[in-house]
Amino acid sequence: MSMSEIAKQNEGSENSNSLLERMMQWENSGEYKKLQEQLTFNQYYKIVEKNPDVARTAYQRMYDMIVSHGVEEIKEGNEEMRIYKFFEDSFGDGIDAIFGIDRHLSKLVDLFKAAAEGYGVEKRVLLLHGPVGSSKSTIARLLKRGLEAYSRTDEGMLYTFGWKSNGFEGRELAEDCPMHEDPLHLLPRELRQELRQELLKDEKGRYPLSVEGSLCPSCRFEFKDRRGKHSGSIGKVLEDVVVRRLILSEEDRIGIGTFQPKDEKNQDSTELTGDINYRKIAEIGSDSDPRAFNFDGELNIANRGMVELIEVLKLDVAFLYELLGASQEHVIKPKKFPHVFVDEVLLAHTNEPEYKKLQNNEFMEALRDRTVKIDIPYVTVLSDEVKIYEKYYGKDRVRGKHIAPHVLEMASMWSILTRLEEPKDGNLSLLQKLKLYDGRTIPGFTDDHVREFRETAKREGMDGISPRYIQDKISNAAVAHSNEKCINPFMVLTELKEGLKHHSLITSDDQRKHFGELISVVEEEYENIVKNEVQRAIAADEDALSRLCGNYVDNIRAYTQKEKVRNKFTGQLENPDEKLMRSIEDKIEIPEGRKDDFRQQIMNFIGARALDGKTFDFRSNERLMKALELKLFEDQKDSIKLSSLVSGVVDRETQGKIDIVKARMIRDYGYCESCAPNILQYVASIFARGDSKK
């Protein structure tokens, strides 16, 4: 039971404000006691007999942890893909959620699954490879936190052991194994094999029981010492063992290790495999006695869990040799001791320049052979890129300042454009390619085309602008315009463009010029978006749209059936109003030669809805709705006199109509009292420029 659950139970009681009492209740709860439970070796053995999954390998536990959060199977075109809910970070309030690279995450989980099944991947270093800021560290952080949380659950429980000893005031204490080993390592190898065969016969657990490995030097010394005291009786030695729940924790350095390279001249392999405790040498008299050694290197403490190797390829060549045994043989070599067994996930990450060094280094052939590379590119789907920034600049994150509509969308659009390769199809622009990747439809292109674009553009997402740069410039815009109530897209786009002059990762003037030109593409797209929003706000009279739609449908029905239309005012039968029909169809660029096809499509659409028992209205068909809105906007814009905003001369009647449009912009599109008038004035100036050109 969590502290919050206890607080809810106590809500309204006199003691609900006592933090100390709530803490005591939590400590007395069944959940807390389970995490602190201590067992004898025989009790643990019975647990393993009943549920061998408590003795899973590190890779098996990692894969099961990810799957425990749920898996969704989706279809992308003709391809099936698995979405692992774990990477949505539901257990961490979504702050580390990863978007837009599901295909690559699926490949990573496939490797975990292969390693869990013992297909050979468990003897490799998994290397996340990608550009800076592509979420490599976030993936590692998620996996570490996931393992920590999983080890606290009944499904993910695991155990280690310690040795009984007399402690302070005669109380019995237990000195834990420094490498958090599985208690089964205490069994002689002959008995382990017998146990394994017995459990295989009963087919218990998700995996065949693995009982590989031997005791660490410290526990081996303790085992031999106690066996001598007990006249060689292994049973008596096992009575000295205390088995405990093992809760993985990076902070406590239990089962989760993180290694980051330091200065090349000061690298020391003892950071990975432990070091001699020189203070204890004076007491014990030997530097090869395990009691005088600290088994606290990152590869030691990560046993049973995972070690993250940050920018691993920046390590000295000799230093990397420590990883060869840890991956292939599952052993490490501490100073002055024989090989020590380890069972842990080796997850490294690096950027592309460092990986190229590895490829070109003939002395690192052994490491290359033991490495599995997983590409982690930048996001190339617009809606997913927007989600990244919503985590930091959403309504709940930014206080006292309004982030205007499309700020995050336009910044995301530019960042993705910098990552995409130019389409080889001359009929497709880079912006259109971005929209296709985002699931939008463009005439003449299908899902097969999108899949072909992705397959041929192998480097897409491996270059371009990092999300960190976008975050920095959004923050700069907020600070630079501290007196403004709103941050609009132009403020951010200006920051993005100005920052290119000093961007350290832009390697050439041509690239800088190209990125600057893409800013102009985004500005033009933004102009089209806000024009459309204002047009919709002006034409948001649903009664008028419904009447216009009814009139249009009556006319095309008569046209397609070669009938006449009855005039509602005169009662006379007349030919269908071709001028009305074409004035609507022209708004969505239906050519004269295709008008019959379009009208028949609308009639077929209406008929299909009727067969399904559904009512047709102007909202039912997105393309028709857009045409009706544009038609109504054209009919009403002169009466609203939006252009008067440019001159600044607005009469009372016109101001009233403009206020209605402003209210719709706030209600329907997320603008505020500050930015809604600004956007109306901006769009009015666009229309004024268009009118002057005419």
Summarised one tens digit per residue, pLDDT across range 93-122 is 788 999 999 999 999 999 999 999 999 999
What is the tens place of the pLDDT at every residue in 458-489? 889 999 999 999 999 999 998 888 888 899 99
Residue 307: per-residue pLDDT? 96
CA dihedral of 32, 34, 35, 36, whole degrees rounded to 10: 90
Cβ–Cβ under 8 Å, residues 672 and 622: no
- 644-665 mean pLDDT: 74
Instruction: Report how far residue 398's alpha carbon sits from residue 392's, in angstroms, rounded to the nearest whole number.
Output: 8
State yes or no: pLDDT of 177 exceeds 90.
yes
Instruction: Report how far residue 15's alpha carbon sits from residue 19's, in angstroms, rounded to the nearest whole number.
Output: 9
Q: What is each CA distance from 374 to 127, 320, 346, in whole angstroms?
A: 6, 19, 13
Strands 331-332 and 275-276: unpaired
| 8-state DSSP, 674 | T
Q: What percent of the chain has pLDDT over 70?
A: 89
Give the range among 92-101, 340-349, 391-400 with minimum mean pLDDT: 391-400
- 402-421 mean pLDDT: 95
| 8-state DSSP, 249 | B
State yes or no: pLDDT of 124 exceeds 70.
yes
Residue 331: CB atoms within 10 A of its CB come to 17
More confidently predicted of 319 and 356: 356
Residue 167: per-residue pLDDT? 47
Residue 686: CB atoms within 10 A of its CB come to 16
What is the tens place of the pLDDT at every residue in 31-87? 767 778 889 999 999 998 888 899 999 999 999 999 999 999 987 766 788 999 999
Cβ–Cβ under 8 Å, residues 35 and 2: no
Residue 692: per-residue pLDDT? 39
Average pLDDT of the chain? 85
Which 3-state string (H, E, C) describes 93-133?
A: CCCCCCCCCHHHHHHHHHHHHHHHCCCCHHHCEEEEECCCC
Instruction: Report how far residue 413's alpha carbon sits from residue 521's, in angstroms, rounded to the nearest whole number.
Output: 10
- Torsions phi, psi of 214, nearest 5? -130, 170
State yes or no: pLDDT of 24 exceeds 90.
no
Query: Radius of gyration over alpha carbons of the chain, in Å?
Result: 34
Cα–Cα nearest to 20, from 32, 5, 6: 6
Residues making up the chain, counted from first to last: 694
Which secondary-structure segment (H or E) carries 84?
strand 79-84
Strands 371-375 and 159-166: unpaired
Cα–Cα nearest to 66, from 196, 128, 155, 131: 155
Enter the tokens of residue 303.
């046993």
Residue 646: per-residue pLDDT? 55
- 671-685 mean pLDDT: 87
Cβ–Cβ under 8 Å, residues 274 and 334: yes
Enter the tokens of residue 148.
């920590």
Instruction: Report how far residue 506's alpha carbon sits from residue 429's, in angstroms, rounded to the nearest whole number.
Output: 23
Residue 492: per-residue pLDDT? 95
In which band, very low, low, confident or very high, does the pLDDT at 201 lie, cut at 50, 70 and 90?
Answer: low
Enter the tokens of residue 22.
């709530």
> Domain boundaries in the chain?
3-36, 382-508, 539-638
Strands 71-76 and 79-84: antiparallel
Which secondary-structure segment (H or E) carries 259?
strand 256-259
Residue 693: per-residue pLDDT? 41
Strands 293-294 and 275-276: antiparallel
pTM, two decimal places: 0.83
Region of residue 619 (phi > 0: left; psi between -120 and 50: alpha; otherwise: beta): alpha
Instruction: Report how far residue 347's alpha carbon sits from residue 124's, in angstroms, rounded to the nearest whole number.
Output: 9
Give the range among 159-173, 368-382, 576-590, 624-638 with minimum mean pLDDT: 159-173
- 578-591 burial, b if ≥16 CB within 10 A, otherwise e? eeebebbbbbeebe
State yes or no: pLDDT of 170 exceeds 70.
no
- Torsions phi, psi of 597, nearest 5? -65, -45
Reported as half-sphere exposure (CB side, CA atoms, 13 A), residue 664 has a value of 17
State yes or no: pLDDT of 376 exceeds 90.
yes
DSSP per residue, 363-431: GGHHHHHTEEEEE------HHHHHHHHHHHHSTTT--SSEE-TTHHHHHHHHHHHHHSPPPSSTT--HH
341: helix, coil or strand? strand
- Torsions phi, psi of 450, nearest 5? -60, -45
More confidently predicted of 16 and 415: 415
In which band, very low, low, confident or very high, does the pLDDT at 330 lie, cut at 50, 70 and 90?
Answer: very high
- 498-526 mean pLDDT: 91
**Given CA atoms 194, 198, 201, 207 in this order, what sign does their dihedral have?**
negative
64: helix, coil or strand? helix
- 310-337 mean pLDDT: 83
Instruction: Report how far residue 58's alpha carbon sits from residue 255's, in angstroms, rounded to the nearest whole number.
Output: 10
- 4-28 mean pLDDT: 60
Which 3-state string (H, E, C) describes 3-41?
A: HHHHHHHCCCCCCCCCHHHHHHHHHCCHHHHHHCCEECH
More confidently predicted of 691 and 519: 519
Give the range among 16-30, 373-387, 527-541, 637-651 with minimum mean pLDDT: 637-651
Region of residue 200 (phi > 0: left; psi between -120 and 50: alpha; otherwise: beta): alpha
Q: What is each CA distance from 59 to 122, 180, 247, 322, in whole angstroms?
A: 7, 16, 17, 20
What is the tens place of the pLDDT at every residue in 210-261? 778 889 999 999 999 999 999 999 999 999 999 999 999 999 999 999 988 7
- 244-282 burial, b if ≥16 CB within 10 A, otherwise e? bbbbbbbeeebbbbbbebeeeeeeebebbbbbbbeebbe
Residue 598: per-residue pLDDT? 92
C-alpha 692 chain-centroid distance: 48
Cα–Cα nearest to 267, from 321, 325, 303: 321
In which band, very low, low, confident or very high, does the pLDDT at 648 lie, cut at 50, 70 and 90?
Answer: low
Own/partner pairs, 106-111, CB within 8 angstroms, 24+ separation: 106/81, 106/82, 107/374, 108/139, 108/374, 109/63, 109/66, 109/82, 109/84, 111/372, 111/374
**Given CA atoms 190, 196, 199, 201 in this order, what sign does their dihedral have?**
negative
Give the range among 308-317, 604-613, 641-650 with minimum mean pLDDT: 641-650
Residue 140: per-residue pLDDT? 96
What is the tens place of the pLDDT at every residue in 280-304? 888 888 888 898 899 999 999 999 9
Cβ–Cβ under 8 Å, residues 211 and 195: yes
Instruction: Report how far residue 556's alpha carbon sits from residue 545's, in angstroms, rounded to the nearest whole number.
Output: 16
In which band, very low, low, confident or very high, does the pLDDT at 512 lie, cut at 50, 70 and 90?
Answer: very high
Residue 365: per-residue pLDDT? 79
Give the range among 184-198, 563-577, 639-653 with minimum mean pLDDT: 639-653
In which band, very low, low, confident or very high, does the pLDDT at 30 lie, cut at 50, 70 and 90?
Answer: low
Residue 64: per-residue pLDDT? 96
Instruction: Report how far residue 487's alpha carbon sits from residue 514's, in angstroms, rounded to the nearest whole number.
Output: 25
State yes or no: pLDDT of 264 exceeds 90.
no
Cα–Cα nearest to 275, from 245, 297, 258, 260: 297
